[in-house]
A and B are shown apart, each in its own frame.
Chain A
């Protein structure tokens, strides 16, 4: 199962100069893990909000608290970044934007759109 037992490993992350495509890729994975972790709390909120009017109010109250507001903003970033980075890969699968310049440009767009979503989530009233 593991043909290369002694693959070279270089983990000095601060010395690596990663291209934007790599950063977007790492963030794609990270955002996916975040979204996965959010599934259970999300279901809990859904159950609570559907139970009765009190539960609905309680769920709203929880979402309005500032730690949850920040968590929500982070999840919005995760969702938008994961969605756009995924669509970018689907386009690349379809051989659109495979070249280095195009791939870097699309990676920039994905990263920026994600950060805009994060800003929007933080500033959301």
Chain B
């Protein structure tokens, strides 16, 4: 993966996901300022909507891609030992995968 997503493609993915994340952040801020969440029922109902499931899934895909490129850059910049570098990149992959599975479980749980 690290050599498939490298150079220009990583740069592009980082920026495309950034645009989506920025738009979502703006939308979420306005939404929650206009409609604060009073209690658990309202919170649960919000997350149970199909639109929210789709939106959150897309958000999380963008987030994971963005985090992958960013943390990959950090690791490549500061970790020089090839083996340690590889290990950390693998760990990052596993960690992001764990987060993705976790979110899927949460989303299925409220459906």
Contact = CB atoms under 8 A, between A and B. Distances in A.
A32 interface: yes
Given A43-B106, A90-B18, A56 B25 contact: no
A33 B106 contact: no
B99 A56 contact: no
A36 B70 contact: yes
Interface size class of B (residues with CB under 8 A): 20 to 34
Contact of B74 (A29, A43, A55, A56): A29
Interface in A25-40: 29, 32-33, 35-36, 39-40
Interface residues of A, number: 26
Contact of A93 (B15, B43, B99, B102): B15
B102 A86 contact: no
Contact of B25 (A32, A52, A55, A83): A83
Given A36-B67, A36-B70, 17 more contacts: A32-B70, A32-B71, A33-B71, A39-B67, A43-B99, A43-B106, A46-B106, A47-B106, A47-B109, A49-B40, A50-B43, A50-B44, A50-B110, A53-B40, A56-B40, A79-B25, A86-B18
